[in-house]
Chains A and B, each alone.
Chain A
């Protein structure tokens, strides 16, 4: 099995694992891994493929993967999808072809390219083992290739390179340094990542329809920040008596971004996990001033106070926005005021019910409070409630059914407020209520989709949630272990995967300011002579580190002779327990000869230990670490053997 444990072979398998992730199905993983393993097995058996077979396989792969690169993956993504798969097939062909230094070099090279492409697909914490294995195996494979080249050149002394723990640590450190300091540029942003299905929220709300059940547990996005509640994606202002729609005024650009952001604006970071569920609507809260994201396509703030992008997100991006929870009061334009009060004809029964609930109260806040209380007290939140009368769904809900889901209550609340002369609209989006217990972020899932009402008074839009269960007050708690896992995943994605130019600038700035602060403290508070004195002392300690006497006993390397005596003493003790005593005048080799005559089952191991002992103790040779390990394992084997009793 040494063939499969070769670094090049393992790298090949890792690249196959990564490549399998370009497909949406998990079935691709065993398929790709199986294909690679089969190629490695065939390579081991010999019978390499020739150039003609390689060419045919490549043409076939080109046609096959070209067929699979579907309409969604056209343009740059389909090219990458096609290119990476063809590269993978080409790599397999090289695995099957006659093995020489060049084919192995190509295998390692293409493996790294495929792993690099794979990091665009394997973005969650499963990328950590991939990266760690690459970190360990790539240097080993490269060193093996160089060794092979030297062996071909008939080098003296077999080339060896051992990547120990220190080497791995150095590589990790250097990788980190590169990762932090190497310049990044803001180029075209797109990726071949495909998301995991799901659809965006509705473009209209039919308040009469029934909703079967809650949304799934599928993660839509994570959002960082405090005091996050309702995250609006869009709002509906046109109501025809049954269906809420967005008027064209709600879809036009409202204003330019506020640059610079006003004092007190809060920064939010949103990491999207499922771009398909969002469509072109980005969930935001409060009054958004600026939205920025490396992968956003011309985001605008529309008339309904939501943020929309011109085209669907290319892959699961991170975007930021700056918002204030309370905007400056300003009057609603006459046109908008009128539009948000428009209603089809309402029934006398509904007007009577409303009159009954609110009476003569004309204060908006009080009326909203009374309606909310009424909904919470007299109505029931129930998913799967029967359809309402399509002709008058609000009447049917208020007067008859008295149960339903959030969209019905949001719709009813908006209608009732409009009836009382308060401009209102229906908003949909998500409610952030699953706060992570370890990090300052919320998980927002498909089941957190919600609808509510926005009412205009005192010069601002206010959120009015008429749904009886009181969504905003209820928090959700995840299991601790699950919460920890999600926190780690969030850190990984937000701090590592999505570490871009802005993050780099911020990190460098903070590093610089920390260095400046430390140096300022050092030079202000500590006199220069102390700094010099400490520096000299450190330098002397550094120089004295080689002096054996100064080292702690644990660090002090044992003399090889002493070590040899230790393991030879162990051997004698083990043999003594087996009833084999060395005579006082017997030399080690005489003792060995006697044991060999007696046909001791571990005679070869005893010979190895004796030979090494004599080489070190009497021959003045050094005890190499590998030799030491070999001797120790030989002693273990001797300990386990039982000599035959004569």
Chain B
């Protein structure tokens, strides 16, 4: 559906035309009418050429991924199948202009990368984009909603922070924690010991064996990796707090990844956990964090218990909640006291609570305070 609107500049020139028209009526001057006629002709040409310019073929990428405050990267292909040039094109969304194109020659094609930066996480579907053209004079703007599939996924911005408290440490190659036992393989060399019958030949440490002490084999420190279950709440009366919480969750989960933790991510309103192995990219949980929307009535004791049941029993629990009430707090306390779970609670700055045994951490807009 093509719509036509007058631009601000178009209205200004209409006002000028009206002034001249009034003057022409007063003076009964045919010449003044000719001058207004030139302006009128410009409007008509703008009307026709602008409409024609919308007959372009736009091929967007399936999805474009970006982070808050970072430039979107993804190439669009624009083709002009018509026989006249199309120009003054801009693809605009409710959030502002996406990109603009000067002039596209007949049968021309261009590959365009949007120069837009999104400051808030979220999903920006291409179906909300409009193609607008005010070619060539900028008086009249023709607009058409783009029937394109695809979206821009804007991940929450992350910042450096310490990983949360983990639990359920297990041996894992690359784990950042040293266990009490020694292992045959690993990154941290511990020392040598006499060879036992079950030791493979390739473990022999030849420099020490050659000194005449017998067959000696290498020993490494045991590498352990913890487990973290991150529970994300979506209930809030202040929408900005959900953005803060999403950024905090993203930062914590990326810190977990860097620390080699096995991560389970679950949302209170959607109790299907996502398992994220260590050292993978963050797309698995950043995507859901980008799609988070406020869900009233989801930070309750029942929701918390249901979510915790879906998480590994040995994992440390990290609750990132935009808000919390007494019942939910009591449920967390039960986890600490009755089930002896390691629980960390992350809340926005400004929400005061007391009477819980779980350690409480605060986060701001783009910062973790403790």
Contacts and interface: CB of A to CB of B under 8 A. Distances in A.
Answer yes or no: do A and B interact.
yes
Contact of A156 (B29, B37, B112): B112
A159 B41 contact: no
Nearest to A173: B41
A145 B19 CA distance: 22
B27 to A, nearest CB: 4
B272 to A, nearest CB: 42
Interface stretch (B100-108, B245-253, B348-356): B100-108
A105 B16 CA distance: 12
Interface string A118-139: 0110010001000100110011
A113 interface: yes
A500 B37 CA distance: 15
Interface of A: 105, 109, 112-113, 115-117, 119-120, 123, 127, 131, 134-135, 138-139, 142-143, 145-147, 149-151, 153-161, 167, 170-179, 182, 184-191, 294-295, 315, 496-501, 624
Interface stretch (B59-67, B120-128, B132-140, B199-207): B132-140
B4 interface: no
Contact of A119 (B35, B87, B88): B35
B6 to A, nearest CB: 14
A182 B30 contact: no
B152 to A, nearest CB: 18
B177 interface: no
A430 to B, nearest CB: 25
B336 interface: no
A138 B110 CA distance: 30
B196 interface: no
Q: Across the A-B interface, give the 5 residue pairs with the lowest CB-CB distance, nearest first.
A: A159-B102, A175-B37, A499-B30, A174-B41, A119-B31
B169 to A, nearest CB: 52
B16 A112 contact: yes
Max chain B Cβ within 10 angstroms of own Cβ: one of A155, A179, A500: A155
Nearest to A167: B45
Interface in B17-67: 19-20, 22-42, 44-45
Contacts of A186: 28
12 contacts: A112-B39, A120-B23, A138-B38, A139-B42, A143-B136, A155-B90, A157-B103, A167-B45, A172-B41, A174-B45, A179-B37, A191-B26
A194 to B, nearest CB: 13
Contacts of A149: 138
A11 B353 CA distance: 71
A interface secondary structure, majority? helix
A186 B25 CA distance: 7
A109 B101 contact: no
A120 B33 CA distance: 11
Nearest to A157: B102
Interface of B: 9, 12-13, 16, 19-20, 22-42, 44-45, 85, 87-88, 90, 97, 99-105, 110, 112, 115, 134-139
Contact of A157 (B30, B40, B42, B104): B104
A182 B9 CA distance: 23
A296 to B, nearest CB: 12
B31 A155 contact: no
B60 to A, nearest CB: 15
B31 A123 contact: yes
Contact of B26 (A151, A177, A187, A496): A187
Given A142-B136, A161-B135, A176-B37, 7 more contacts: A116-B23, A127-B31, A155-B100, A158-B102, A159-B88, A498-B30, A501-B28
B102 A147 contact: yes
A640 B101 CA distance: 41
Contacts of A113: 16, 19-20
Nearest to B83: A546
A315 B135 CA distance: 41
Nearest to A153: B100
Nearest to A192: B27
Contacts of A150: 88, 100, 102
Contacts of A145: 9, 138
B31 A146 contact: no
A143 B97 CA distance: 21
B26 A190 contact: yes
A171 B42 contact: yes
A131 B31 contact: yes
B35 A154 contact: no
Contacts of B37: 174-179, 182
Given A116-B23, A150-B88, A174-B44, A157 B138 contact: no
Nearest to A163: B136
Contact of A189 (B27, B31, B38, B41): B27
Contacts of A178: 33, 36-37, 40-41
A157 B110 contact: yes
A112 B21 CA distance: 13
B28 A189 contact: yes
Contact of A497 (B31, B110, B138): B31
Contacts of A135: 38
A500 B32 CA distance: 11
Given A154-B100, A160-B102, A170 B41 contact: yes
Given A150-B100, A154-B100, A119 B138 contact: no
B123 to A, nearest CB: 25
Contacts of B135: 146, 161
B32 A120 contact: yes
Contacts of A188: 26
Contacts of A155: 90, 100-102
Contacts of A143: 136-137
A508 to B, nearest CB: 14
Nearest to A189: B28
B337 to A, nearest CB: 59
A99 to B, nearest CB: 18
B303 to A, nearest CB: 47
Contacts of B45: 139, 167, 170-171, 174
B85 to A, nearest CB: 8
B264 to A, nearest CB: 44
Nearest to B44: A174
A184 B23 CA distance: 11
B138 A174 contact: no
B53 to A, nearest CB: 11
B20 A156 contact: no
Contacts of A191: 26-27, 29
Nearest to A131: B34
Given A174-B44, A501-B28, A156 B35 contact: no
Contacts of A175: 34, 37-38, 40-41
Nearest to B25: A187
A116 B19 CA distance: 10
Nearest to B76: A156
B33 A112 contact: no
B35 A189 contact: no
A175 B101 CA distance: 30
Contacts of A117: 23
Nearest to B15: A109
Contacts of B38: 131, 134-135, 138-139, 171, 175
Contacts of A498: 28, 30
A109 B34 contact: no
B118 to A, nearest CB: 17
